Amino acid sequence: MVTAREIMTPGAECTGENETLTQTARRMRDREVGALPVCGEDQRLKGMVTDRDIVLCLAEGRDPGQVTAGEIAGGKPVTIGADDDVDEAIRTMQEHRVRRLPVIDGHELVGMLAQADVARNISDERVGDLVEFVSY
């Protein structure tokens, strides 16, 4: 059984819930990622912010220097447990139509699991199903 911990990208970095979208966008640029977990001052996961979220904010005419990551990342975050197997990761991605999952161990963020990480560890037939159900 392959677990999320075995195939994730370790060392995920959060953006703070009170950081602006401008600060968050710079962090994304610096880390060369398209999404970041959002953590509160208690270091607990509060949600995710994607590059698309930032674009939508701009399209609505909102000032990314005034909007916080926490405002955009509201709601319960979709996660995967570090010791959950790859089948659970696939089910979670499909059910929630997400391409990236924060990996948690207890309440601690320990990594990120991307659709590509999963795809590298399953059969070609299952990759097609994963992409079909997650992409929109």
123 touches 87 (CB < 8 A) = no
CA gap 136, 133 in Å, rounded: 8
- pLDDT of 135 strictly over 80: no
Amino acid code (one letter) for 129: D
Task: Choose between 128 and 32: higher pLDDT.
Answer: 32
Per-residue pLDDT of 8-43, as tens digits, reads: 999 888 999 999 999 999 999 999 999 999 999 888
Domains of the chain: residue spans and CATH: 4-134 (3.10.580.10)
Per-residue pLDDT of 115-124, as tens digits, reads: 999 988 776 6
Residue 52 to residues 4, 10, 44, 89, 104, Cα–Cα distance (Å): 25, 23, 23, 22, 23
Per-residue pLDDT of 53-109, as tens digits, reads: 999 999 999 999 999 999 998 678 899 999 999 999 999 999 998 999 999 998 889
Calculate the CA dihedral of residues 55, 57, 59, 61 and round it to 10 degrees: -140
Cα 127 to its chain centre, rounded Å, is 19
